Structure 1
Amino acid sequence: MRPAASRSLRNSTPRRTWRAVGSRLRTIDCGLIRYVDVAELLAAELVSNAVRHTKGPAAMRVKWAEGVLRIGAWDADPEPPEPPRSRGELEEVEAGRGMALVRACADVWGWQPSAREGNRGKFVWCELGAA
């Protein structure tokens, strides 16, 4: 896999993004097949949040380096993501489970302020294989 791959999400959907990540990982022969299912889920959640909570552009980035798969989504909203809810809180709501899924399935996750193509925003990422 190339060091990093970015994909614009302006006219994309979480389903297309999910398929793109899975397809890319399946075609690479360096042990990434074990991450496909979880990586697809994490990519879809990060992209869904980026598209749902902002009106501006968004982009996804997937990077494989030194045994760690990093999946991230950039969006034009500089505000931090809502922290993942606790298991008890999730039982009472119908939405808002995305970051809890990311926290549960990824080895680590985080966010940082960022800029892309002149737009301020944030980059929310998670990693597999980092433990």
Structure 2
Amino acid sequence: MNSDQSPLPVRPARPTQPHFSWHHFTMRFSSTSRGARLARRLAAERLDAWGIPYGSHVHDVLTLIVAELSANAVRHGRVAGRDFRLRLSAEGATLRVEVTDSRGESIPALKEPSDLDAGRGLLLVAALADRWGWYPSVDGPGKTVWAVLDVGPA
């Protein structure tokens, strides 16, 4: 290089935003503790298949959200003989979890835990997710509780 040529400026590394091609997973599970456990395990496997590896922070957070929402569907949204539905989707840098149960009259709400064993599920979801909420089910009785995790740079 000649002395009158200046080196090219060095650009700082730009954080890359994770980008997921569109993925979608939906399945119904029995409204039992076994169904909730299976929903968590299949969600964990699906996330890994989508490129969100086991043991990563995002994988662990999403799996915990699925576990809490599924457990709530079984505990508070169960109607005998009816299943709950888990829906996962990934698009761009946004991951979404939706759990639909069959009881529309039990409205999800944040509240202080009543004892040592119960009442912390939605508090965990609210703390871990970027956004969460619920809406009445559009395809029958019940409600859908959802949580969104944005995995782009802060």
User: Which TM-score tier does this pair reach, normalised by the shorter chain?
Assistant: 0.7 to 0.9
User: What does residue range 1-16 of structure 1 map to in structure 2 within 5 Å?
Assistant: 3-10=23-30, 12-16=34-38
For residues 63-96 of structure 1, the C-alpha deviation after alignment (integer angstroms, 9 at most, x for no partner) is 10121100010011112533112xxx33x52211
CA contact (8 A) 1:4 1:64 kept: yes
TM-score between the two structures when normalised by the length of structure 2: 0.71
Quick check: 2:28–2:84 contact (8 Å CA) kept in 1? yes
Superposed CA RMSD: 2.1
- Of the two, which has the highest radius of gyration? 2
2:40 aligned partner: 18
Residues paired across the two proteins, number:
123
* Residue type of the alignment partner of 1:21: A
Q: Which runs of 5+ in 1 are unaligned?
A: none
Unaligned runs of 5+ in 2: 1-20
Match of 2:87 among 57, 61, 73: 61
Normalised by the size of structure 1, how large is the TM-score?
A: 0.82
Instruction: Report the equivalent of 1:121.
Output: 142
Say whether the 8 Å CA contact 1:80–1:111 is kept in structure 2.
no
Secondary structure of the 2:59 match is helix
In the alignment, residue 39 of structure 2 is paired with which amino acid?
A: T
Name the one with the larger helix percent: 1
Q: List, as ranges, runs of 4+ consecutive aligned residues in structure 1 with deviation greater than 4 Å.
A: none
| Equivalent in the alignment of 2:134 | 111
